[in-house]
């Protein structure tokens, strides 16, 4: 007689096998708490595998904190990449985690989080505690501890500044939390860290020559007569990571003055201006052999240290650093048509955004025109309506215009058909006055419906916004011409009759490709990126 294991038992067995194998792919996706030691670890912790009876698994480090465990000093679980589950999950817990990562609890409290989600604060707390093992305050506290740890060991920022940069309300709260979570005072944590020059400085020094790292940007100095906080950080990422591909995607769409990119060397660079809760700033990211595997180097230039965690969270979303590339690649490679594309570009990433309103404007402007044409129009809009910005990064001169600025100035700067300009202006005005709400915590179906309900916005635009803003891994852009071209280049069989005399219409091929794409769920967004790349000339792939 055979018995079937219950789902909870199967889940425990799968996770236990992962920690026994020290599988780095699961780092950040769950945490292992060990009753006999009172610590929690990442799955790949090199310590001896604990006995199953001593193990409890948690989805978040906050849940482990709440249960009385402290972080392992050997594997540093807080330094692991985040979990991709919050993008895969379309439920309330997933939406809440995206908002908490963006600092909503720190800025607006639990009532603000609940209001954005459309539920009472009590219901949100109850659901998160049941689903994730910790309420919103505990989850935000864990994020503050993670940010603080990275600043303590990775920068020379004074510890008092670290406390406020990480979002703590007081130095005492910072010291108490760090001691409770890591079982060591912040000063001792910094003293124990094996310091080395940040990867960003090392890579730039190799590329630009001795002294370049300090000449380009001096921490705590000023740019354009405006004092700013400047930090070099390293962000963890799961391998494989197609850094060149994600930067190439952003470079092709880079708006002059707002973004710059460099794909010429072994290391790829991308930089852009940012509008953050406490003021404007800029970020420059560097990835490649000079930085090393499993990490991305970041240089931040901020109006306030309080924006560090928000800037990092938004950059992680922009570069899709929390994705599980092995899961995506394995699923898509099962299709013989996609397998060669996956083999050619392992670890492909789905670019997100640092500003949801910006993506809405970009998507509307880009409807039914080429990427290059959209970039020209957006560059003209940014030059005419965007706020000037002075940065140490060459080429960054402007902020992308806010919704209010677009509503006021788009008609003067966009040389598009009148109907298209009217759609941009009307939508920007709705974003500005709150009639249309677009944010990382939105429900995907509701967001698409709200966009399609507006005059001049179709399903393609709504799907693209969901893909970039929510980083929906399963968004499909029905009718996209480039997807048809990529499918043809990749030899995807659409199952259409071919008698050698009649050619199926584009509409028929689009319907067939959409039906074919259903087998790529829940990773259709990544499949679309592979097909887009396949449609490019060989020199650009």
- For the cut 80, the answer to whether the pLDDT of residue 197 exceeds it is no
Banded model confidence at residue 47, pLDDT cuts 50, 70, 90: very high
Is a pLDDT exceeding 70 seen at residue 209? Answer: no
Phi, psi of 399 (to 5 degrees): -90, 145
- Our CA dihedral for 525, 530, 536, 537, rounded to 10 degrees, sits at 180
367: phi then psi, degrees, rounded to nearest 5: -60, 125
Contact in structure between 40 and 77 (CB atoms under 8 Å): yes
Residues 425-456: tens digit of each pLDDT: 999 999 999 999 999 999 999 999 999 999 99
Instruction: Please list, in sequence order, all residues whose beta carbon lies within 8 angstroms of the beta carbon of residue 52, skipping any fewer than 6 positions away.
Output: 12, 16
Across the range 132-153, mean pLDDT stands at: 92
User: pLDDT tens digits, residue range 364-408?
Assistant: 999 989 999 999 999 999 999 999 999 999 999 999 999 999 999
| 501/319: higher pLDDT | 319
CA–CA gap between residue 136 and residue 307 (Å, rounded): 19
Spatial CA neighbour of 524 closest among 335, 256, 288: 335
Range 136-163 average pLDDT = 91
- Calculate ∠ Cα 149-151-155, nearest 5°: 135
Strands 222-223 and 268-276, bridge-based pairing: unpaired
Pairing type for strands 222-223 and 226-227 reads antiparallel
pLDDT for res 416: 96
Question: Considering the chain, what percentage of its residues have pLDDT values greater than 90?
Answer: 79
- Phi, psi (degrees; rounded to nearest 5) at 398: -145, 155
Higher per-residue confidence, 456 vs 229? 456
Per-residue pLDDT, 200: 57
Q: Is the pLDDT of residue 225 over 60?
A: no
- pLDDT exceeds 50 at position 53: yes
For residue 37, what are its two tokens?
A: 């030691």
Q: How confident is the model at residue 277 (pLDDT cuts 50, 70, 90)?
A: very high
The Cα–Cα gap between 451 and 426 comes to: 12
What DSSP assignment string belongs to 1-65?
---PPPHHHHHHHHHHHHHHTT-GGGBTTBEEEETTTTEEE-TT--SPPPPGGGEEEESSHHHHH
Using DSSP, state whether 260 is helix, strand or coil: strand
Give the pLDDT mean for 81-104: 88
Question: Any catalytic annotation for residue 445?
Answer: no
For the segment 38-49, the average pLDDT, to the nearest whole number, is 94
Q: What distances in angstroms separate CA 333 from CA 163, 326, 345, 538, one per listed residue? A: 45, 10, 11, 21
Q: β-pairing, 39-41 with 259-262?
A: unpaired
Mean pLDDT over 468-487 rounds to 95
Q: Write down the mean pLDDT value for the chain.
A: 90
3-class DSSP assignment, residue 156: coil
The 3-state DSSP class for residue 295 equals strand
Cα 333 to Cα 116: distance, rounded to the nearest angstrom: 38
Is there a contact between 528 and 350 (Cβ–Cβ < 8 Å)? no
Of 23, 27, 41, 320, which one is the catalytic site residue? Answer: 41
Q: In this structure, are residues 190 and 150 in contact, taking their beta carbons and an 8 Å threshold?
A: no
In this prediction, residue 191 carries a pLDDT of 86
Q: Do 286 and 263 touch, CB atoms closer than 8 A? A: no
pLDDT at position 155, please? 86
For residue 280, give both structure tokens: 């404007």
Mean pLDDT check: name the lowest of 4-8, 280-284, 332-336, 369-373: 4-8
Dist CA 285 CA 225 (whole Å): 24
- What gap in Å lies between CA 168 and CA 177, rounded to an integer? 9
Whole-number pLDDT of residue 87: 78
Q: Residues near 259 by Cβ (< 8 Å), separated by ≥ 6? A: 250, 251, 270, 271, 272, 273, 396
Residue found by looking up tokens 């990562």 in the block: 101
**What is the per-residue pLDDT for 503?**
79
The pLDDT, as a whole number, for residue 213 is 38
State residue 296's pLDDT score: 96
CA nearest to 145, candidates 113, 109, 105, 186: 186
Q: Which one-letter DSSP state was computed for residue 4?
A: P
Q: Which two tokens stand for residue 285?
A: 């990211």
The better pLDDT of the pair 272, 200 is held by: 272
Of 220, 215, 222, the residue nearest 201 (C-alpha) = 215
In DSSP notation, 403-433 reads: HHHHHHHHHHH--S-HHHHHHHHHHHHHHHH
Give the separation between CA 106 and CA 475, rounded to whole angstroms. Answer: 30
Band (pLDDT 50/70/90 cuts) for residue 223 is very low
pLDDT of residue 227: 53
What is the average per-residue pLDDT within 203-231? 48
Higher pLDDT, 319 or 494: 319
Residue 284 pLDDT grade (very low, low, confident, very high; cuts 50, 70, 90): very high
pLDDT for 249 beyond 50: yes
Give dist(CA 539, CA 541) in Å, integer. 6
When pLDDT is cut at 50, 70 and 90, the band that residue 502 belongs to is confident
Q: Residue 23 catalytic?
A: no
pLDDT of residue 199: 57
pLDDT band at 500 (very low <50, low <70, confident <90, very high): low
CA pair distance 530, 532, nearest whole angstrom: 6
CB count within 10 Å of CB 430 equals 18
Confidence band for 286, pLDDT divided at 50, 70 and 90: very high
pLDDT, residue 221, reads 37
Longest dimension (CA), the chain: 78
Q: Can you name the residues that pair with 527 across neighbouring β-strands?
A: none
What tens digit of pLDDT does each residue of 126-142 get?
Answer: 999 999 999 999 999 99
Residue of 418, 373, 311, 323 whose CA lies nearest to 27? 323
> How confident is the model at residue 538, as a pLDDT?
78
pLDDT of residue 387: 97
Q: Which is the catalytic residue, given 91, 322, 480, 499? A: 480
């Amino acid at each position: 007689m055979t018995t079937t294991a219950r789902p909870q038992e199967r889940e425990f067995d799968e996770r236990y096998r992962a920690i026994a194998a020290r599988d780095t792919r699961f780092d950040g996706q769950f945490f292992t708490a060990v009753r006999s030691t009172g610590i929690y670890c990442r799955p790949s912790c090199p310590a001896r595998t604990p006995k199953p009876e001593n193990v409890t698994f948690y989805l978040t480090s906050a849940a482990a904190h709440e249960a009385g465990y402290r972080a392992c000093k050997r594997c540093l679980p807080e330094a692991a990449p985040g979990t991709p589950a919050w993008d895969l999950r379309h439920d309330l817990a997933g939406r809440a985690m995206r908002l908490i990562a963006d600092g909503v609890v720190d800025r607006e409290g639990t009532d603000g989080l609940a209001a954005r989600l459309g539920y009472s604060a009590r219901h949100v707390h109850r659901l998160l505690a049941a689903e994730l093992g910790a309420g919103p305050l505990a989850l935000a506290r864990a994020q503050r501890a993670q940010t603080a740890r990275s600043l303590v060991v990775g920068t020379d920022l004074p510890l008092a500044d670290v406390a406020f940069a990480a979002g703590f309300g007081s130095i005492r709260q910072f010291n108490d939390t760090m001691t409770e979570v890591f079982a060591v005072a912040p000063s001792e944590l910094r003293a124990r860290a094996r310091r080395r020059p940040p990867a960003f400085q090392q890579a730039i020094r190799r590329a630009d020559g001795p002294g370049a790292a300090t000449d380009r940007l001096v921490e705590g100095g000023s740019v354009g007569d405006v004092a700013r906080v400047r930090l070099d950080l390293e962000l963890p990422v799961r391998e494989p990571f197609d850094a060149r591909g994600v930067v190439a995607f952003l470079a092709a769409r880079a708006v002059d003055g707002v973004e710059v990119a460099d794909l010429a060397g072994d290391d790829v660079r991308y930089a852009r201006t940012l509008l953050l809760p406490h003021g404007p700033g800029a970020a420059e990211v560097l990835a490649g052999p000079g930085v090393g595997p499993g990490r991305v180097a970041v240089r931040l230039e901020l109006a306030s240290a309080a924006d560090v965690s928000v800037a990092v969270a938004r950059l992680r979303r922009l570069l899709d650093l929390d994705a599980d590339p092995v899961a995506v690649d394995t699923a898509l490679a099962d299709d013989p048509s996609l397998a060669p594309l996956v083999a050619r570009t392992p670890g492909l990433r789905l670019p997100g955004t640092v500003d949801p309103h910006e993506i809405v404007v970009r998507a509307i402007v880009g409807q039914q025109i080429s990427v290059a044409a959209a970039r020209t129009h957006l560059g003209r809009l940014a030059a005419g309506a965007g706020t000037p910005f002075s940065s140490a990064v060459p080429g960054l001169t402007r902020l992308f215009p806010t919704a209010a600025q677009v509503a006021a100035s788009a008609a003067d700067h966009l040389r598009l058909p009148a109907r298209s300009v009217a759609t941009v202006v009307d939508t920007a005005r709705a974003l500005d006055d709150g009639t249309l709400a677009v944010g990382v915590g939105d429900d995907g179906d509701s967001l698409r419906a709200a966009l399609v309900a507006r005059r001049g916005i179709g399903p393609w635009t709504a799907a693209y916004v969901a893909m970039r803003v929510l980083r929906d891994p399963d968004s499909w852009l029905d009718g996209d011409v480039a997807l048809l071209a990529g499918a043809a280049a990749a030899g995807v069989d659409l199952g259409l009759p071919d008698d050698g005399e009649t050619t199926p219409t584009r509409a028929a091929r689009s319907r067939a490709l959409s039906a074919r794409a259903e087998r790529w769920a829940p990773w259709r967004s990544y499949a679309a990126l592979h097909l887009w790349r396949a449609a490019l000339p060989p020199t650009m792939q």
